[in-house]
Amino acid sequence: MYVDQISVFIENTPGSAAQVTQILDDAHLNIRALSLCDTSAYGVLRMILDEPDRAFEELKKAQLTIKSTPVLAVRLTDSAGGLNRVLQIVGMAGASVEYAYAFITRHSGTAVAILRVEGDDAKVAEMLQNEGIALWNQEEMLENLTPTEFYD
């Protein structure tokens, strides 16, 4: 029900994000989803990778400040109101969203929201599933985010 997310804390300077992506590129690791947020001094690069354990080790070897965090990967409809429905349930579970990022998938009409919630995430997950909203585990996430060719 959870997906491993790798967070890398980087300075807000030119080339710092590229340093991280170069390490991953050299190790032939594929970023499947990401979010980058920053302040004036630092940034947090959050990523879902094809091999999170190996990515963690590669980034650790580079002496970067990193963290692995379990997050919810919520499958929702790619239509108006899809995310609202999920967020309503999160609120009804007595939790709040610490952060989120979303993307569409290669499956028509499907999107995924990565959620980190403050509160009882197991209760949130249970309530989402009881309302018919699918949560992807690590294997399902990677299976459904396999790189595909771009279409014209």
**Cα 59 from Cα 10, distance rounded (Å):** 12
Q: Which of 46, 40, 36 is nearest to 13 (CA)?
A: 40
Percent share of the chain, pLDDT over 70 = 91
* Mean pLDDT in residue range 40-50: 90
Lowest mean pLDDT among 37-41, 54-58, 79-83, 146-150: 146-150
The pLDDT of residue 45 is above 60: yes
Q: CB–CB of 141/105 below 8 Å?
A: no
Residue 100: the pLDDT is: 93
- pLDDT grade for 46, boundaries at 50, 70 and 90: very high
C-alpha dist (Å) from residue 136 to 3, 47, 63, 140, 141: 7, 16, 31, 5, 6
CB atoms within 10 A of CB 53: 12
* Residue 149: pLDDT band with limits 50, 70, 90: very low
Q: In the predicted model, what is the mean pLDDT of residues 19-48?
A: 90
Give residue 52's pLDDT band: very low, low, confident or very high (50, 70, 90).
very high
Q: Is the dihedral of CA 44, 8, 16, 50 positive or negative?
A: negative
Give the dihedral sign, CA 84/88/91/93. Answer: negative
93 or 38, which is more confident?
93
Residues 6+ apart with CB under 8 A from 134: 74, 75
